[in-house]
């Protein structure tokens, strides 16, 4: 099997695997227990918190572990919204968000908040110019993802954050795709809250985190919870959290090296498309141009002439794992909102498929992929 779906999930790195096994065997006590076993687990938990918070330049006291990116987004957005003054119940969300952010927005509407979508400009960017016409005196919160899971497009958060903070508006970002792929700090990005996930950085599934900047008011969805500073209930999974921290430290330490690898692979893929005269193209190259900031490990493609799901299934039949977009939205027939927002036609959107690289991806893997796509194109 050739795995080219790292944007959906990644295999455990050796550091995470060893940590998970060791901690599962040796640190099994409840971190809330008052005996020595609980104290040891609590120590490991807090050290993990320090490591993960340090990777984004944050205060460990404001980092809360969750069950993953989806829960992180929902809890962060609701906690920030609930902490807003009564006269600030208008929320803006970009039109290109992950499904979990849309779930959070729907939940806010049910609680009486007003939620509006922010659409990108012609280059797929959410900028202050896109946001400003939608601002109202009661706008209190904006959520814009750091990098998109379908296209890899990175948004100018620092610019957005500075603009919003001048107006007393909070900014949340879903950094699940960007964490471990590009280096950043919460101060540099000018964000008030960040959501991240473990299994995107070669850690175990079922673990994520929310960071909320010191000084930012929030009200927990579970104010009576006894764990994670009342941010989230439930016994804390210390072994998985420790493995998350190990994976994050390992992955973030290799960002520069892997970026060079992924840029080279992305260039190689586009060259092979041209050499084989495939009608497929990278969406970002065709619609957005090459000057924009893009995660190099994600290659969202369209134009092969088949439904993306059919392309995915044909590749799977030949031992190649690719996707048609976010795994959390798989099975839905509508084209991703991301692609609609970028102006793709319905036909182009339905032909979309995504390739995403990982540390083990090679040019030979892409040769096998291009061969499979070429054989498919020949049958048309």
Distance in angstroms (rounded) separating the CA atoms of residues 77 and 129: 23
To the query of whether residue 328 is one of the catalytic residues in this protein, the response is: yes
**What strand order describes the sheet that includes 298-302?**
281-282, 298-302, 353-356
CB atoms within 10 A of CB 147: 24
Tokens of 341: 């927002």
Task: Annotate 167-181 with b (16+ C-beta within 10 A) or e (fewer).
Answer: eebbbbbbbbbbbbb
Distance in angstroms (rounded) separating the CA atoms of residues 161 and 20: 36
Q: What angle do CA 321, 326, 327 make, to 5 degrees?
A: 60
Q: Is 41 exposed, middle or buried (0-12, 13-18, 19+ CB in 10 A)?
A: buried
Strand partners, 114: 90
Q: What are phi and psi of 246, to 5 degrees?
A: -65, -45
Tokens of 231: 């941010």
Q: Is 63 exposed, middle or buried (0-12, 13-18, 19+ CB in 10 A)?
A: buried
Closest of 151, 150, 90, 153 to residue 117, by C-alpha: 90
Q: Which residues contact 247 (CB under 8 A, 6 or more apart)?
A: 12, 13, 15, 16, 198, 201, 202, 203, 204
Annotated catalytic sites, by residue?
328
């Amino acid at each position: 099997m050739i795995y080219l779906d790292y944007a959906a999930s990644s295999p455990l790195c050796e550091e995470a695997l060893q940590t998970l096994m060791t901690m599962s065997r040796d640190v099994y006590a409840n971190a809330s227990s008052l005996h020595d076993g609980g104290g040891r687990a609590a120590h490991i938990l807090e050290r993990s918190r320090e490591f993960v918070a340090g990777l984004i330049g944050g205060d460990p006291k404001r980092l809360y572990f969750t069950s993953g990116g989806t829960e992180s987004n929902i809890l962060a957005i609701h906690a920030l919204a609930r902490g807003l003054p009564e006269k600030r119940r208008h929320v803006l969300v970009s039109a290109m968000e992950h499904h979990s952010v849309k779930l959070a927005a729907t939940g806010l509407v049910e609680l009486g908040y007003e939620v509006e979508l922010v659409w990108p400009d012609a280059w797929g960017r959410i900028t202050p110019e896109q946001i400003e016409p939608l601002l109202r005196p009661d706008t209190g919160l904006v959520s814009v993802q750091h990098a998109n899971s379908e296209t890899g497009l990175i948004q100018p958060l620092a610019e957005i954050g500075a603009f919003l903070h001048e107006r007393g508006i909070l900014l949340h970002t879903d950094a699940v795709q960007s964490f471990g792929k590009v280096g950043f700090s919460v101060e540099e990005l000018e964000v008030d809250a960040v959501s991240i996930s473990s299994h995107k950085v070669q850690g175990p599934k079922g673990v994520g985190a929310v960071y909320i900047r010191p000084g930012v008011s929030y009200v927990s969805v579970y104010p009576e919870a006894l764990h994670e500073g009342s941010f989230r209930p439930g016994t804390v999974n210390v072994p998985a959290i420790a493995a998350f921290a190990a994976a994050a430290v390992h992955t973030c330490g290799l960002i520069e090296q892997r970026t060079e690898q992924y840029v080279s692979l992305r260039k190689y893929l586009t060259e092979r498309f041209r050499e084989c005269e495939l009608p497929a193209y990278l969406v970002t190259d065709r619609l957005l141009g090459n000057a924009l900031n893009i995660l190099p490990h994600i290659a969202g493609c369209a134009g092969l002439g088949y439904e993306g799901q059919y392309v995915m299934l044909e590749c799977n039949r030949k031992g190649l794992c690719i996707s048609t977009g976010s795994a959390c939205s798989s099975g839905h027939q509508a084209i991703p909102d991301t692609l609609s927002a970028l102006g793709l036609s319905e036909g182009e959107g339905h032909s979309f498929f995504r390739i995403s690289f990982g540390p083990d991806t090679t040019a030979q893997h892409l040769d096998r992929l291009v061969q499979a796509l070429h054989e498919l194109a020949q049958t048309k």
